A and B are shown apart, each in its own frame.
Chain A
């Protein structure tokens, strides 16, 4: 079975600093694999273990993305494909087109997995776009995937319901973070990850004019979080009293 996982190398939002004017300091910010991508990689590794095969990591990224690539390879993936482009400088459709082109070039894949959304932008658009572009069955928000023979049975987690859907392989799916607990790579795996092959593709060679797509994002600024941050300390009877009084004065306690 040949499994592809689309991942994104993203700025670590927990480490992102914002200056006094509310402007984010993106240049030089700490970066890492998008949080939920690990679940997609883990699911791919489980499929590989059950069905024999290989797991290929595909990403659209700058050279910095090699770090995320290495992390996924350390978890147990076999090789990687890096499409050189900055996902923050192009729009989601162009990112999906580049991924689809890379998948077509390296395919055919039996299963293509993505996360439910990247930890930086959380659009959730790229996976279904990839499915649409490749003209493959697409199942979103999978919390359980079972493949047998040429078909897959997928449980989808929606807002108000759970759907069980059947789809033939090859297929594209996005997974929710509840699907599994990603494994930690062991130190030996980390040290050996550097030896696994990573193919680099130019965006321009895949799609002429690829670099000309422009991001739809005009600017980003910190939310004005003007919370009062009043903190009460002391014995519970006292602090409980102070809290209730404060809430009453805000008019948010029921009569």
Chain B
């Protein structure tokens, strides 16, 4: 009796990452996996077994309708494990599926594997201070943490289409505004320089950007600079409720190092910090720290970087 795994995300790029996890989980357990897509996503998806669910209106615009379609199909096919990308909409879809199918559900899981009739994995808890081990009995719905595996490339295999009929949605989407994707994709960035409250004025972010540019990296920030002061768009906010990053080098400038921020940078290879406060928690979370004023240290760094290049 081989175990059957579904891989799904309402976002095709995340779906391919989930497919990658599903592939290793299923293979290790001697099972199979199917990638489930919505609407016309077939060509964008990875995996050899693809099923695309369709309805009279686009399912990708309503997590409720998408969950309805997935539940309907799941009742026919009975997959042992439904893996969903743990995006904001993904968690809603996973939650609804769990209730509709009467299955247990856990989110933000990484390092997942199958064994003893359960899906085992890990998730960060207490703002990343601890790692919890979870064991979810099969059949289950599990939302996998985004950004922990590389996505499989889209495959040329054709997707099977399934018409799911009309699916209700109690909410109506009026408008969708794509966020201005600046030059930033922090999730994939290899080098990040991030600014915190130690930067006194919005104009002073220039020195942080300059350092990032000199090192060929991206600019990020702690929550106060985006959410509270609006100095940078939300996509630059790194932390528990922002973006999780895993660069080779992360330089925190004028960031105190609250747990909520550090939770987003744990997987960085090397962490460095510049802060005037010797007792800032950021130093505990760093490999290298400079106790000093960023307004003097960053210019000094820039001078030396330029000098090296000559």
The answer to A–B direct touch (Cβ < 8 A) is: yes
Assess whether A216 is in contact with B171, with CB atoms less than 8 Å apart. no
Quick one: which of B185-241 are within 8 Å of A by CB? Answer: 191, 215-216, 227, 234-235, 240-241
Assess whether B108 is in contact with A216, with CB atoms less than 8 Å apart.
Answer: no
Per the bound structure, the CA–CA distance linking A239 and B286 in Å amounts to: 15
Q: Decide if A166 is an interface residue (CB 8 Å cutoff).
A: yes
**Cα A167 to Cα B227 with chains together (Å):** 26
User: Given contacts A93-B104, A124-B88, A140-B88, is CB(A11)–CB(B126) below 8 Å?
Assistant: yes
A223-B128, A227-B285 are known contacts. Are A167 and B292 too (CB-CB below 8 A)? no
Chain B contact surface mostly: mixed
What is the total of A-B residue contacts with beta carbons within 8 Å?
242
A166 touches B105 (CB 8 A): no
How many A residues touch the partner, as a band? 35 or more
B179-A162 in contact (CB<8A):
yes
Name the CB-closest residue of B to A157. Answer: B234
* A125: B residues at CB distance < 8 A: 91, 94-95, 98, 105, 107, 143
Task: Name the distance in Å between B288's Cβ and chain A's nearest Cβ.
Answer: 5
Q: Is the CB of B290 within 8 A of A220?
A: no
B1 within 8 A of A: no
Tell me if B134 is interfacial: C-beta within 8 Å of chain A.
yes
Chain A residues numbered 151-176 whose CB sits less than 8 Å from any CB in chain B: 153, 157-168, 176
> How would residues 233 to 254 of chain A score, 1 for a CB under 8 Å from any chain B CB and 0 otherwise?
1101101111110110010111
Q: Are B96 and A227 in contact (CB under 8 A)?
A: no
In the assembled complex, A205 has its CB within 8 A of some CB on chain B:
no
State how many angstroms separate the Cβ of B90 from the closest Cβ of chain A.
10
Contact among A177, A223, A236 for B300, CB-based, below 8 A: A236
Is the C-beta of B2 less than 8 angstroms from some C-beta in chain A?
no
Binding site for B on A (CB under 8 A): 11, 13-14, 16, 18, 24, 36, 91-93, 96, 116-117, 119-129, 132-133, 136-141, 153, 157-168, 176-178, 216-223, 225, 227-234, 236-237, 239-244, 246-247, 250, 252-254
